[in-house]
Structure 1
Amino acid sequence: MGQYPVNNVKSMIVVKDELLTLWSWLPVRMTMHQPSLIYTTEEHGCSLTTFFQRVEKHEPTLICIRTVKDHVFGAYCSTAWEQRNLKDEFGNRQTYFGTGECFLFSLRPTVAKYQWVGISKQQQNSELSSVEHSSELFMHADSYMITIGGGNGQGIMLDQELRFGKTEKCNTFDNPPLTPDVDFEVKVIEVYSFANV
């Protein structure tokens, strides 16, 4: 298939082998694209407002998080974050958005990908109607936090200063907490978008 276009990525979070692992997990059509760092707390500061200004129009995005304890994990987010502003027919903002292409991942201390539970249910039987609403809580964002994965817990939750977060088992991805500690302190966050090579 050829080389993944990751040689020019200068990350403060992932090393090349981890980046290659991440690329092997992406939807195939995205692996041909050059990753572009569009937001990092190191350069752009720790603010959800700045995060939205820099990433909200990009689709999809890859979020990588490194904690002060050197745990590394994150999420592939299939939908632009600006969808948080879309309103339904009653004028209410969307609570959750995104698609079943979203996934969570862990690189340190363990290496694992947690895809949407609907994919395995879809493979087991062709009736997707059996997928509960709580397993379709992909992405959520407001002025106070962002959340990826929901239902009986939050896969990843980051506060409005992008300094502290939480990771729990959730129905959307049927993942364990992505760090040994449920609550974590952020060391650095990087967000990548994908452009044609």
Structure 2
Amino acid sequence: MRASAATLREGGLSPRGRAGAVLAIGRHPAEIRDRRGKEKLTPVFAPVDNDATTVVLEHNVEQTIPSLGPAPSVPMTPNRPAIMTSAAFQTVLNAAPRVFTAAPANLLYSDQTHGRSLATLYRNREGFDATVLCIETELGGVIGAFVTSEWRPHQHRTYYGTGESFVFRAKGKQCTLFPWSGANNSFQLCCNDILAVGGGRPGLGAAIYLTSDLVKGESNQCPTFGSPCLSHTVIDTDRTHGEFAVASIEVWGFRRKTGRLLAV
């Protein structure tokens, strides 16, 4: 598949997503802006070496680019989500800002341990800045999201969060990430009865939507991340909306690392 236009600049390659987000990758400080150029965000990727890696970005784009600066394999209990392979989870960590992943990850919530309760999920996340939500569906495969703001219920259904958020789907070792497209700022929606990641105009909804019992959910074509229905099967490639049954769910938390981060 032919990649979208990319410009070579000092220290790295800057691929441009179809939906308008610009991801600057390089050895020197870079910025991610929305397409209006109004908001500056911490780079999602921080390269460390010159090894090539096949990539994680997708707005219908696949590229091989210089190393995305893998996050260190951090000690966890267990070592990785029980519902994702080590390779797939490491892809998610590599794409997240190092200010979070430089510190150890913590298993905050697992339905196998804590039962299925959105209230328990919210309670267990307290004190952690960023989280990775991992959902195994009954059709197999995993969908999920990385977000940088706490899951804190709001009385009013108001979106919040940052453009460092992204959603993903994984099958075995393969993991495809969908970063912020710049289309809107609908990153996280957190209420007592629902949890959602991404949103959009009528006909295009949340990339991930869960209700309080955490038994069923839905995924929609989502303009926030330029993502398709994450839970579709190989046969239903054109589907823009899909409901799914939750087989298992985990939430991993990260505390923001303070001080200077050094490349290794």
Distance change (3 Å), C-alpha of 1:97 and 1:3: closer
- Contact kept, 8 Å, 1:6 with 1:19, in 2: the verdict is no
Map Cα deviations across residues 178-197 of structure 1 (whole Å, 9 max, x no partner).
1115111111111011246x
1:137-156 correspondence to structure 2 within 5 Å: 137-151=186-200, 152-156=204-208
Alpha-carbon deviation of 1:143? 1.8
CA contact (8 A) 1:62 1:193 kept: yes
Deviation at 1:65, TM superposition (A): 0.7
Aligned-pair CA distance for 1:58 = 2.0
Q: Structure 1 residues 63, 44: closer, same or farther in 2, change over 3 A?
A: same
Q: CA deviation at 1:94?
A: 5.6
What is the TM-score when the length of structure 1 is the normalising length? 0.81
What's 1:111 paired with? 175
Aligned length: 174
Contact 1:38 1:55 in 2 (8 A): yes
Q: Could you tell me which residue of structure 2 aligns to residue 194 of structure 1?
A: 254
Higher helix content, 1 or 2: 1
> Corresponding residue for 2:145?
75
Partner Cα distance (2:98, 2:121) in 1: 26
Q: Kindly report the root-mean-square deviation, in angstroms, between the aligned alpha carbons of the 2 structures.
A: 2.0
Query: What is the 5 A alignment of 1:32-181?
Result: 32-82=102-152, 84-85=153-154, 93=156, 95-108=158-171, 111-118=175-182, 131=183, 135-151=184-200, 152-180=204-232
Contact 2:80 2:86 in 1 (8 A): no
- CA deviation after TM superposition for structure 1 residue 15, in Å: 1.5
Q: 1:3 to 1:117 in 2, by over 3 A?
A: closer
How far 1:77 moved relative to its partner? 1.1
The 8 Å contact of residues 165 and 183 in structure 1, kept in 2 or not, is answered as yes
Q: Output the CA distance in 1 between the equivalents of 2:118 and 2:75.
A: 29
SS of the residue 2:104 aligns to: strand
SS at match of 1:167: strand
Q: 2-side partners of 1:161 and 1:94: how far apart? A: 18
1:53 is displaced (CA, Å) by: 1.1
Aligned equivalents of 2:124 and 2:112: distance in 1?
14
Runs of 4+ in 1 over 6 A off after TM superposition: none
**Are 1:155 and 1:177, in contact at CA under 8 Å, matched by a contact in 2?**
yes
What SS class does the counterpart of residue 33 from structure 1 fall into? coil
Q: Deviations over 1:110-165 (max 9, x none)?
A: 631111112xxxxxxxxxxxx5xxx1111102121100000021110011101100
TM-score (norm 2): 0.61
Indicate the percent of aligned positions where both proteins have the same amino acid.
29
AA in 1 matched with 2:196: T
1:6 paired residue number: 74
* Structure with greater Cα Rg: 2
Structure 1 stretches of 5 or more lacking a match? 86-91, 119-130
The structure showing larger relative contact order (alpha-carbon pairs under 8 Å, at least 6 residues apart) is: 1
